[in-house]
Amino acid sequence: MEFDVVVVGAGPSGSVAAMTASKAGLKVLLLERGPEPGSKNVSGAMIRPTSIQNYVDLSSAPVDRDVKRVDIGLFSSQGDLKVSFRPSSRLVTLSRLKFDKWLAQQAENSGATLITKTTVTGIEPSDGKKKVLTDRGIVEAKSVILSEGANALISMALKIRPEFSPKEAVQAVKEVYSSTKDDITRRFGLSGDEGVAFRFFIDYPLPSAGFLYTYKDSISIGVGAPINFLLEKKVRPSDLLEIFKDRTGLNEIVKGMSLREYSAKIIPEQGFPSWKACSEGIYLTGDTIGLINPLEFNGIGPAIASGFLAGKSVANSSSCYEYEKSLYQDKEISEVIRARPLVRELLKPEKMSTYINLFPRLMNSWISGNLTDSGVRQFLPKIAKDLILSFGVIG
């Protein structure tokens, strides 16, 4: 069987790539190794519709709640600091299982063929085309789009993307708790379809960042930390999650709710452009090339952007140079690229600990009427480089 393009992975980037290529009139096969799209996702899901709307029409997307409040919390040895914001632009939460299935359906509606429970085992050249080997047979295509996620076995086997060491990755773990819509609304003091999101940071037993998102009838709680932190402190990811929930008070929030799911994910710190995004008719997207913006907790936006650009590049028979140039020029992806130097600096254990402690210490000194003894001056040399790097992020 022959196609114009085979897309490997029916996550957001893969489904959008398949949809975009299909709309351009190409014959597209979308392969997913899970039983259904979204079944293997781990990330929490809060998105900014205004940025994604540039690539996908979200008017019929399965949105759960409109986020009306975002709570930021720093929990440190210097004290705890929590602030609440009302977002100036629309933020929504949605179930990744529902959203990924919906995106795959959009690809099918555009003409793509979706086949699940199929694992791609290799790709070989074949008379100017690509022979895609799977556990269910062989298909041929003129081009291939690899949207296989961070654990990109095919991309690494083809030596398009390098492997990464524990020193270059973050380990994230997530739990999903089920309840009812009325119970979620009551627990968080919401009304109607309103939602809330938390972004919390702790400094013990190691500097870590986590989240809570409210969905229609469930919540997700997750936390992540660089793998080298975990190895150094000999802390298991599951134990870190329990400590995170206890330290931030989230254990109290989930009392009486039913634990539905536990999952884990490795997030590379490196990625495009230090990693190639294309090679001889094979295009890489999303997590496969590390397109995650940890400063904004945003992986879905860059994934969808790269999928759209890959689908467009295949349809236009664009060269690798042209595809990678389009990634550079895209707003969502350029923000990821510009943030990398600052993220690399902030992921140093001493830096994360500095910031998690700085603001609670400053507020504690202010409240105590003793700003001269806040100790802020000692932090200034530590954050001077970050201030310079931040100008590259905010443009």
Per-run averaged pLDDT (10 residues), the chain, 395 residues: 95 97 98 88 78 93 96 92 93 92 97 97 94 96 95 94 84 94 95 96 94 95 93 95 97 94 88 95 96 87 97 97 97 91 80 82 75 62 60 56
At 57 the pLDDT is 94
Taking the C-alpha atoms of residue 384 and residue 373, their distance in angstroms, rounded to an integer, is 20
> What secondary structure does DSSP assign to 205-250, as a single string?
SS-EEEEEEE-SSEEEEEEEEEHHHHHHHT--HHHHHHHHHHHHTH
At 355 the pLDDT is 81
| CATH code matching the domain that covers 167-268, chosen among 2.40.10.340, 3.30.9.90, 3.30.420.10, 3.40.50.12780 | 3.30.9.90
Taking the C-alpha atoms of residue 5 and residue 310, their distance in angstroms, rounded to an integer, is 11
Taking the C-alpha atoms of residue 338 and residue 354, their distance in angstroms, rounded to an integer, is 22
At 209 the pLDDT is 94
What are the extents of the domains in the chain? Answer: 2-45+95-163+271-336, 167-268, 343-394
Phi, psi (deg, nearest 5) at residue 313:
-65, -40
Helix, strand, or coil here: 266?
strand
At 385 the pLDDT is 59
What torsion, rounded to 10 degrees, do the Cα atoms 150, 120, 328, 51 define? -70
Phi, psi (deg, nearest 5) at residue 2:
-125, 140
Q: How many residues would you count in the chain?
A: 395
Do 74 and 201 contact (CB within 8 A), yes or no?
yes
The pLDDT tens digits for 96-149 are 889 999 999 999 999 999 999 999 999 999 988 999 999 999 999 999 999 999
Taking the C-alpha atoms of residue 81 and residue 213, their distance in angstroms, rounded to an integer, is 19
At 308 the pLDDT is 98
Helices 300-315 and 331-346, axial angle in degrees (round to 10): 140
Taking the C-alpha atoms of residue 269 and residue 94, their distance in angstroms, rounded to an integer, is 25
Percent helix, percent strand, percent coil in the chain, to nearest 5 = 40, 30, 30
Count the Cβ atoms, other than its own, within 10 Å of residue 180: 12
The domain made up of 2-45+95-163+271-336 has a fold known as FAD/NAD(P)-binding domain (3.50.50)
At 326 the pLDDT is 98
Tokens of 384: 């001077």
Question: What b-and-e string marks burial along 50-75, b requiring 16 or more CB atoms within 10 Å of the CB?
Answer: ebbeebbebeebebbbbbbbbeebbb
The pLDDT tens digits for 2-16 are 999 999 999 999 999
At 363 the pLDDT is 78
pTM for the predicted model, two decimal places? 0.91
Taking the C-alpha atoms of residue 99 and residue 88, their distance in angstroms, rounded to an integer, is 24
